[in-house]
Amino acid sequence: MSQSHVDYERIVEQTIFLKVRSLLGEKFGIASQHVEFDSALVDDLGIEPADIEYLTLTLEAAFDINITIDDAARIVRVRDAVRCILGRASV
């Protein structure tokens, strides 16, 4: 894999992270300075487990993707959401 491809993937991943962080602020009132790539959605950010489905729907709408129930169950940290989106988005 070329260095330029690796750099491109990092830029795309960072862009997705920034959008996810913004959505977490907009939909759940979480201050952006509290959202890190490795933040746990429930334990660190205080999202209620019941709201994970709402988060999934929000991500699907924002990124024009479909997230399976199995994949949604694996979204525990912000990085999981970013990587799920990265794997589905046409970027």
Torsion 54-58-37-82 (CA) sign: positive
pLDDT at 7: 85
pLDDT at 5: 64
Please give the structure tokens belonging to residue 20.
């996810």
Q: pLDDT tens digit string along 6-16?
A: 688 889 999 99
Closest by CA position to 54, among listed 43, 41, 44: 41
- Of 22-31, 39-48, 67-76, 81-90, the least confident: 81-90
Mean pLDDT for the stretch of residues 59-67: 95
Mean pLDDT for the stretch of residues 11-34: 96
Task: Please give the mean pLDDT across all residues of the chain.
Answer: 92
pLDDT at 89 over 80: no
